[in-house]
Amino acid sequence: MDWLQQLINGISLGSIYALIALGYTMVYGIIKLINFAHGDVFMVGAFIGFYAIKGWGLSFLPALIISMAFCAVFGVLIERIAYKRLRNATRIAALITAIGMSLLIEYGMIYIRGAQPEAYPADVLPNKAINFLGVHINSQSLFILLTSIILMIILQFIVQRTKMGKAMRAVSLDMDAARLMGISVDKTISFTFAIGSALAGAAGVVFGVYYTKIEPLMGVIPGLKAFVAAVLGGIGSIPGAMVGGIFLGVIESIVSAAGFSLWRDAAAFVILILILIFRPSGIFGKNTREKV
């Protein structure tokens, strides 16, 4: 029954990738920008959660909320400072700016606090073995999965049922038409960055609780994997980002369980290459070609 344990571990890991991937896919859906600084917002969220728990003595939920709020504001600042003036610029200019912002956040964090890693306390969440069908399942894995699912449900409610969510969908379909209909495009884009960054901050706290160790360059690999998950599901598709993240987590868990843990990171990029060759639009994406 080891397969069940590996499946739950993979889904828990994949739900973290999915939370980060949602930010990539929402921003791309609105302004057609790949925000490569998004993985570093995830890193900042992990540190905010760590200081809230270790420094202020808060429990998991308040630390999660504080991290999400901080990262939401941080994401809006990134959009206003780095990306707002580049909406009509070439794709390569926006891409270079995103990479530059990523490096600025990473090495800015190293300058502020140093490069030394930190470790989340081991008792942030109950860590008990739950016996299910003869398999011992870690309670932290289930709690992390539940947290991620709740956040994804809240996101779906915002996008599908709220006025701002309708504005996001309208801007995604046609920005100029949405502006003519009286929708504030600037506010909608800022709100999209805020929501995506808040989810990345939540993913950072969940990641820190699950893996304990955090450091200033921790956002690079999870950020790239979340990008792979977004492409796998169909960049611009919210359900696609969720499915892609969970699928990627399960694949990594299977690769590790098969004794190829050294190839775990490579598996994500092999999947990316295969997707780009055989289905560039992703699982849920529309099979259309876009001019660059």
List, as one string, the DSSP characters of 86-120: GTTS-HHHHHHHHHHHHHHHHHHHHHHH-S--EE-
Asked if residue 45 lies in contact with residue 205, where contact means CB atoms within 8 angstroms, the answer is yes
pLDDT on residue 292: 37
Q: How many Cα atoms sit within 13 Å of 284 on the Cβ side?
A: 17
Is 80 exceeded by the pLDDT of residue 287?
no
- pLDDT classification of 206: cutoffs 50, 70, 90: very high
Amino acid residing at 177: A
More confident site: 174 or 89 = 174
Q: Where are the alpha helices (DSSP H) in the chain?
A: 2-31, 38-54, 60-78, 91-113, 139-161, 163-173, 175-180, 185-211, 220-233, 238-257, 264-278
Asked if residue 22 lies in contact with residue 71, where contact means CB atoms within 8 angstroms, the answer is no
Question: How many CB atoms within 10 Å of residue 123?
Answer: 7
User: What is the three-class DSSP state of 138?
Assistant: strand
- pLDDT classification of 2: cutoffs 50, 70, 90: low
Q: Degrees (nearest 5) of the Cα angle 238, 70, 110? A: 105
Question: Which of 111-115, 134-138, 194-198 bottoms out in mean pLDDT, i.e. has the lowest?
Answer: 134-138
More confident site: 264 or 213 = 213
Asked if residue 196 lies in contact with residue 38, where contact means CB atoms within 8 angstroms, the answer is yes
Mean pLDDT across the chain, nearest whole number?
A: 90
More confident site: 47 or 88 = 47
User: What is the three-class DSSP state of 219?
Assistant: coil
Question: How many CB atoms within 10 Å of residue 130?
Answer: 11
Which residues neighbour 118 within 8 Å (Cβ) at sequence distance 6 or greater? 47, 50, 54, 213, 214, 215
The percent of residues above 90 in pLDDT, for the chain, comes to 65
Amino acid residing at 3: W
- For range 117-132, the mean pLDDT: 84
Q: Per the structure block, which two tokens stand in for 237?
A: 């598709």
* 261 φ, ψ (degrees, to nearest 5): -60, -30
Is 50 exceeded by the pLDDT of residue 86?
yes
- For range 204-218, the mean pLDDT: 94
pTM value is: 0.92
Q: Per the structure block, which two tokens stand in for 54?
A: 């270790």
More confident site: 103 or 144 = 103
- pLDDT classification of 288: cutoffs 50, 70, 90: very low
- pLDDT classification of 174: cutoffs 50, 70, 90: very high
Is 70 exceeded by the pLDDT of residue 181?
yes
More confident site: 53 or 141 = 53
Which residues neighbour 88 within 8 Å (Cβ) at sequence distance 6 or greater? none
